[in-house]
A and B are shown apart, each in its own frame.
Chain A
Amino acid sequence: MPADVLAMTVAVGEGALSRAKYRAEKVSGNGAREKQDPARGRMAGQERRIDDTILIREAQRGDRAAFEELVRHYDQPVLRLALHLTGTEHDAQDVYQDAFLKAYKNIGSFRFECSFYTWIYRIVTNLCLDHLRKKTVRKEDAPVAKDGNGGEYDLLDQVADGRAGANPERDLMRRQLGARISGALEKLTPRERMVFELRHYHGLKLRTVGEILHTTEETAKNTLFRATQKLRGQLADMR
């Protein structure tokens, strides 16, 4: 028992140290800190994992700053997934908010049995599935839901400089294709949609997809097959 307490105290010390370092870097200009990351290459992934473990333990002790730091490691892909699945910024923000709040409230029960990545994705996909199911029941005018985030397109066009503007015809075709594809995606069952989304748009391996959705890799494979067949049927005239 005393050894246990000692180990915990050490962990707290380390955490405080790493955060102090983080703050020092922040003061000296966060640009420099971010620039180092790509240079570190493969090492970064491993460091991130260790770093995350410390952050998770601190968050489990109720350290909100550690949790917020943890959020920043995962929230961009989470928001991307929510945005693509729900189709509107408003709904995506709701999913984001609910997911991380739920994670915060339940982080005490995270026992390192799976990776934090899988754990957080489980929460997010469950919320997204709920959203998709509700949407299916409401039967909204879904196929053009993408038009809702027109603002985002404008912003992206700006960022991409002249590229999009230089070829308006191609840009238009890309948007039409996008609208047709999202229309076809809406017709999949929520689960098919989720498997397809995670594999196709977010590049997750089916093994991970299975883990996230509490199912086997084999079932995930079958679901992907069914989803693709349906989409091919829907978009048969596009070729």
Chain B
Amino acid sequence: MKCEWVRENITLHVYGELADDARHELEQHVARCADCAAELKAEQEFHALLSQDRATEPAPNLLAASRMRLQEALETAEQGGFWHRLAFDPANWLRQARFSPALASAILIAGFAGGVGTSYKVFGHPPGKTDTVAAPPSVESSITGIQSITQQAGTNQIDIKYNTVSTQEAQGSMNDQRIQQLLLFAARSNYNSGVRMDSVDLLTQKPDVSQVRDALIYALRYDTNPGVRLKALDGLGGFVKNDVRVRDVVLEALVNDANPGVRTEALRLIEPVKADGSVRGVLMTLAAKDQSQYIKSQARTMLAQLPEID
């Protein structure tokens, strides 16, 4: 009976999962029982054998690629339970309103309109006065801001001056000046990183235009989305040799970028100019003390391939 109990608990003992009293009991028994001692030894040996095989750490590239893929998917993913969150977190609702001027204005207008409506009900329509209550904003325009709100003293007449913005469409080829300007604008200022991604992607077709190159440099330096930074990096790749500014910004990305994928790509791009003094300096720093094992070993390999010139 005792031996049976021991056999059943030897595995847990080897994994350190037995309670203290049970462990004591087991050790006492094994000291007296040769069969169980042999069983314990066999289990320990087996454990040691298994422990030689370890779960390998995922390669930095795999981790970086997975993170990037996830980030892309998150941009279009919706969080579930919208009504749930709305009901339980009114602060969130207010916060969203604060960041969305159009929505905030719409709420304001609706509030006033409601107020006007009710006062008409209470006081009735004043005779002889034409009703000039705000015409509803046209469908294709949306309100971006309220200039002024005034109420005429003693009446329920309210004047609201508001700005609207309407969606317009521009069509043309990449050579079209206007299209280029719009893309440059989109690359820098749109809140939606999907739009930035698309515009940077198109701009990479024209990296020889100096304004475009500036926009790509800006995106690589400051864009919060690693996918956009990676696209910009690829667009700049061909200029690492001839444009010192490009070389500097690529080196900056290699050293400072938070995303391992971007760093790996930057490292690949500077390969043709690795003999350059500034590049060599950066490579030496990376080879000596970079956090990423992969970058470190790649930098070492690149340095090893360089001819000794000093």
**B256 contacts A30, C-beta separation under 8 Å:** yes
A165 within 8 Å of B (CB atoms) = no
**A199 contacts B91, C-beta separation under 8 Å:** no
**B11 contacts A225, C-beta separation under 8 Å:** yes
Interface bits B56-77 vs A (CB < 8 Å: 1, else 0): 1111011101110111011101
> Nearest CB to that of A155 among chain B residues?
B59
The smallest beta-carbon distance between A224 and chain B, in angstroms, is: 6
**A80 contacts B67, C-beta separation under 8 Å:** no
B304 within 8 Å of A (CB atoms) = no
A34 within 8 Å of B (CB atoms) = yes
Q: Spot the interface stretch: B158-166, B178-186, B291-299.
A: B291-299
Contacts of A100 in B (CB 8 A): 70
8 A Cβ contacts from B51-101 to A: 52-59, 61-63, 65-67, 69-71, 73-75, 77-81, 84-85, 89-92, 94-96
Other-chain contact of B293, A27, A62, A92, A159 (Cβ < 8 Å): A159
A201 to B81, CA, bound (A): 36
**B297 contacts A76, C-beta separation under 8 Å:** no
**A152 contacts B59, C-beta separation under 8 Å:** yes
A188 to B56, CA, bound (A): 20
Q: Spot the interface stretch: B29-37, B42-50, B131-139, B196-204.
A: B42-50
Given A8-B91, A30-B256, A221-B12, A178:B53 Cβ within 8 A: yes
> Nearest CB to that of B88 among chain A residues?
A108
Other-chain contact of A108, B46, B62, B80, B90 (Cβ < 8 Å): B80
Other-chain contact of B55, A84, A221, A228 (Cβ < 8 Å): A84
The smallest beta-carbon distance between B194 and chain A, in angstroms, is: 12
The smallest beta-carbon distance between A203 and chain B, in angstroms, is: 10
**B294 contacts A159, C-beta separation under 8 Å:** yes
**B67 contacts A75, C-beta separation under 8 Å:** yes
The smallest beta-carbon distance between A46 and chain B, in angstroms, is: 23
**B74 contacts A235, C-beta separation under 8 Å:** no
**A93 contacts B65, C-beta separation under 8 Å:** yes
A83 within 8 Å of B (CB atoms) = yes
8 A Cβ contacts from A53-108 to B: 60-62, 64-65, 67-68, 71-72, 75-76, 79-81, 83-84, 89, 92-93, 96-97, 100-101, 104-108
A83 to B53, CA, bound (A): 14
B276 within 8 Å of A (CB atoms) = no
A26 within 8 Å of B (CB atoms) = yes
The smallest beta-carbon distance between A10 and chain B, in angstroms, is: 10
B15 within 8 Å of A (CB atoms) = yes
**B74 contacts A101, C-beta separation under 8 Å:** yes
> Nearest CB to that of B224 among chain A residues?
A65
**A80 contacts B58, C-beta separation under 8 Å:** yes
Contacts of A42 in B (CB 8 A): none
**A97 contacts B57, C-beta separation under 8 Å:** no
Contacts of B74 in A (CB 8 A): 64, 67-68, 101, 104
A115 within 8 Å of B (CB atoms) = no
**B89 contacts A8, C-beta separation under 8 Å:** yes
Interface bits B1-33 vs A (CB < 8 Å: 1, else 0): 000000010011001010000000000000000
> Nearest CB to that of A31 among chain B residues?
B291
Contacts of A238 in B (CB 8 A): 49
A107 to B297, CA, bound (A): 38
A206 within 8 Å of B (CB atoms) = yes
B195 within 8 Å of A (CB atoms) = no
**A83 contacts B49, C-beta separation under 8 Å:** no
A225 to B63, CA, bound (A): 33
Interface bits A223-239 vs B (CB < 8 Å: 1, else 0): 01100110110010011
A4 to B11, CA, bound (A): 51
Given A67-B74, A225-B8, A108:B17 Cβ within 8 A: no
Residues of B within 8 A of A (CB): 8, 11-12, 15, 17, 43, 45-46, 49-50, 52-59, 61-63, 65-67, 69-71, 73-75, 77-81, 84-85, 89-92, 94-96, 224, 255-256, 258, 289-291, 293-294, 297
12 pairs of residues in contact across A and B, judged by CB atoms under 8 Å = A31-B291, A65-B224, A75-B66, A84-B55, A92-B58, A92-B62, A96-B66, A101-B74, A108-B84, A156-B56, A206-B12, A224-B11
Additional A-B contact list (5), CB under 8 Å, known A62-B79, A109-B84, A238-B49: A80-B55, A84-B56, A89-B62, A152-B59, A177-B52
Residues of A within 8 A of B (CB): 4-5, 8-9, 12, 26-27, 29-31, 34-35, 60-62, 64-65, 67-68, 71-72, 75-76, 79-81, 83-84, 89, 92-93, 96-97, 100-101, 104-109, 151-153, 155-156, 158-159, 161, 174, 177-178, 181, 199-202, 205-206, 221, 224-225, 228-229, 231-232, 235, 238-239
